[in-house]
Structure 1
Amino acid sequence: MHPVISLTSIALLSFSAHCFADELKIFTWEDYISETLIEEFENEFGHTVSQIYFENEMLRDVVVYSGKAMAYDLFIIDGQTLTELGESGLLAKLQSVLEQKNAHFTDSSNQTCSPYGIPYSHGTMGIGYRTSKVDSEVNSWMDIFTYAMENPQTVVLPNDDLDTTAIALLALGFDPMTENKDELEQAYKLLLEVRKELLVLRTSIGYALDKKTNSKMEMAVFYSGETEQIASETSQDDWTYTIPSEGTLVWHECLSTHIEKPISQASIDFLNFINEPNNAIINAEEMWFASSNKYVLDSASEDYLDDEELFPKTLNSDTWFSYKKLSIEAEQYRSRILTVLRNNK
């Protein structure tokens, strides 16, 4: 009798769990969440996970600002935009979603993401280049502009109103978040001069995922953690990453949700699941990004923790720049710069 009761109870529990199973839709960068963990999560909780990809932050921001983000349960968003959207009343507060044992993040990521997001990753922006193609030293942001002029149709710059302008500003020795009109004008002229020599205005990872072995990219703006994936996608194992001497912008990314999209049980389960200590380590090492989870920083492998691309040791207060809120006028000026660049092919 008892074995029958036990089996029946298990069957009822399984049926009950799947009755509450849901589809979890995540708006994210491609290849940014461990497939191993997604499969384990689906098996353990009965939820299904659907990932919808965006290629650049501007497209993502349009979706969030327009309210179309309500189609998704969670989305990846950078810390600066998250703060602006949260203060505008568009994002839900998530500080009470995680169980205490899973809420173990770095101070800087907590400061950036809280209260409207759950910290996910952080990193730098630098230059990626193929050592078999580039025989000169790369140690300045100006090197990417020089290489583009001397080697047309081989360089990729991002299609981003903040980062694209920031690269030119850094190359000229200016603060990447400056609002000085003269400095912005100089950055615009530099970008316009090189525009027609570029291979494309696009994220380097997006280009690599699209073109694969047909890639003509020899130098590009990379975000830390992308080098191995780009090398794999293009079958070019000579890619390397460097942070130029002028410094870099340091970014943080968070998981968030729209204020009018009630946080689902599937979302709560998922956020807790990926932030459990062992799972956080699997996610970080499988996807090879700098995790904001302290468990990863305490317990990951030596190969991961010693990776200079993920955890550069040469940056200091003079070369470590943070994103900050710009005036409407400065935002509009940068947006106009990018519009001209897009149309000037």
Structure 2
Amino acid sequence: MVRTRFTRRLPAVAAAAGLALAVAACGGQSPNSPAGSAPAATADQLNPNADLSKQSISITVWDGYTPKELPEKVKEKLKVSDVKIALHATNEEAMTKLTAGGDSGIDVAFVSGQYAQALNEQGLLEPIHPELIPNLSNLYPEATQLSYDKGNKYSVPYTWGTTGICYRSDLVKQAPTSWYDILKPPAWADKKVTMMTTERWLALPALKALNYSVNTEKDDEIAKTKELLVNAKPHLLGYDDTTFGDKLKSGEALMVEAWDGWCPTTDPKQNIKFVVPKEGSDLWVDTMVIMKSSKNKEAAHAFINYILDPEIHRWAAENINYKVPNKAAMDQVQVPKGSLLGIKPAELLNGESIIDLGQASTKYSRMSQEVTAN
């Protein structure tokens, strides 16, 4: 199995603020409307029998998130005139590209769920036309109940997972069960713990430990969350969004906050395990969306349908170690012993989806700056 390492999240200081500013740049505010609300845009009439040879597809996606040979395969399969892949390093970079005004030239964008929600609230997304994506039937039923877009009205999920504590079972004196195990580590783990820097995930352990929603906007709850994070800081090895697995392998760290797909649990010699703390966690989802400005909407739908083919979609699970919300694809994946790919959809849905908070997201940006500042 090839493991591709990349950064799909936003930089620590700019994430939520970047989202709020990006959508504001579209000429409107980002209201905190209920996640999964009806699409803001009116669906175009699309031709299910359109000649795709007269259309092309331009995609923006994280580096390493799709096969390198994808453009050639899509062009051959769909008979479109051209397929172009543009890369973005972060959600923020994608949002800047997609909300700069006018036609971005992008037909299909890969963005995380709360960013799809923000784009939709600004009327920038084409509603999904299910009749053009018959492979939607391959999705788990749970994948249609995501809080930011119930019914997949404007987005189609590509990967999903959760966040928890990844730890060295042979080195810890007691296996972690609570977020407090990294927020207030025991003496034997002092300065051998890492947490994430990306603000919504930096805040997550403290929010859940305090029994708050990961989407709280209440100033008093955010203040208490900040206090808990500040008090935890002297006991951390550091903040780390990318190399925490390596620190566990070397023994430099004993417990780390981690996305499930990046917790290296499959090597029995490493004695690394993963646990979702008893207070609960999140459900993160990365999605595919079609831009309202696209002039190739039939081809864009055909592309998403192609990705949902189980032979194609399984690539993500087998190569980046993230679960895909495609039952037909996951049924074909041989899950290695110890792999977290075996987490069931029902277990994932126990997590709370992180949604777009609009301007309130800046509260998390400010808190992150103040917590992680030297």
Q: If the length of structure 1 is used for normalisation, what is the TM-score?
A: 0.72
Which among 317, 326, 332 is matched to residue 362 of structure 2?
A: 332
Q: Does 1:311 align with 2:358?
A: no
CA–CA distance in structure 2, aligned partners of residues 154 and 51 of structure 1: 38
- In structure 2, distance between residues paired with 1:248 and 1:289: 17
Q: 1:31-110 to 2 correspondence within 5 Å? A: 31-35=64-68, 40-41=73-74, 44=77, 47=82, 50=85, 52-55=87-90, 57-66=91-100, 70=104, 72-96=106-130, 98-101=132-135, 103-110=137-144
**CA distance in 1 between partners of 2:143 and 2:346 (Å):** 20
Structure 2 CA distance for aligned equivalents of residues 316 and 201 of structure 1: 25
CA RMSD of aligned residues (A): 4.3
Matched, 1:300 2:336: no
Residues 1:224 and 2:255 are matched in the alignment: no
**Which 10-residue stretch deviates more, 165-174 or 90-99?**
90-99
1:27 alignment partner in structure 2: 61
Distance 1:32 1:59, change over 3 A: same
In structure 2, relative to structure 1, the CA distance for the partners of 1:218 and 1:231 (3 Å cut) is farther
Deviations 1:82-125 (A, max 9, x none): 12320221223233584324553233423444222222122211
CA offset at residue 254 of structure 1? 1.0
Partner SS, residue 80 of structure 1: helix
Q: In the superposition, relative to structure 1, how do residues 292 and 309 fare at CA in structure 2: closer, same or farther (>3 Å)?
A: closer
User: Which amino acid in structure 1 is aligned with residue 332 of structure 2?
Assistant: A
Secondary structure (helix, strand or coil) at the match of 1:291 reads coil
**Cα distance change, pair 304–82 in 1 and its aligned pair in 2 (3 A):** farther
Q: CA deviation at 1:225?
A: 2.0
Residue aligned with 1:135, SS: coil
SS at match of 1:82: helix
- Residue equivalent to 2:371: 341
From 351, 354, 357, the equivalent of 1:323 is 354
Q: CA deviation at 1:134?
A: 3.3
Check if 1:115 corresponds to 2:173. Answer: no
Q: Deviations over 1:226-250 (max 9, x none)?
A: 224x989xxx944321101111111
Partners in 2 of 1:66 and 1:200 — Cα distance? 35
Distance in 1 separating the partners of 2:262 and 2:299: 29
When residues 263 and 144 of structure 1 are mapped into structure 2, their CA distance, relative to the original with a 3 A threshold, is farther
Number of the residue aligned with 1:144: 182
* Structure 1 residue 136: Cα displacement: 2.7
User: Which runs of structure 2 are paired with 1:167-316 in the superposition (5 Å)?
Assistant: 167-195=205-233, 198-203=236-241, 206-207=242-243, 217-228=253-264, 237-263=270-296, 267-297=300-330, 299-301=331-333, 303=335, 310-312=342-344, 315=347
1:74 shift after superposition: 2.9
Q: Which amino acid aligns with 2:215?
A: M
- 3-state SS in 1 of match to 2:364: helix
CA gap of 1:156–1:306, structure 2 versus 1, over 3 A, is closer
Tell me the distance in 2 between the aligned counterparts of 1:304 and 1:38. 29
Question: What's 1:10 paired with?
Answer: none
Q: What is the rounded CA distance, in whole Å, between the counterparts of 2:326 and 2:262 in structure 1?
A: 19
Q: Work out the percentage of aligned pairs sharing the same amino acid.
A: 20
Q: Is the 8 A contact 1:191 1:341 kept in 2?
A: yes
Gaps of 5+ in 1: 1-16
Q: Pick which of 194-203 and 109-118 moved more.
A: 194-203
Instruction: Output one character per residue of 1:29-87: Cα deviation in whole Å (capped at 9) or x when no partner.
Output: x43334576664466558555352425x4554455444599264433222233123202
Write the distance in 2 (CA, Å) between the matches of 1:110 and 1:39.
30
Give the counterpart of 2:162 among 89, 99, 124. 124
Secondary structure at the aligned position of 1:290 is classed as coil
Change (3 A) 1:295 1:333: same
**Secondary structure of 1:273 counterpart:** helix
Residue 220 of structure 1, CA deviation: 2.4
Q: 1:288 to 1:68 in 2, by over 3 A?
A: farther
CA contact (8 A) 1:208 1:215 kept: no
**Given that residues 158 and 164 in structure 1 are in contact (C-alpha distance below 8 angstroms), is that contact kept between their aligned partners in structure 2?**
yes
**Bigger radius of gyration:** 1
Do 1:76 and 1:255's aligned partners in 2 also have CA atoms closer than 8 Å?
yes
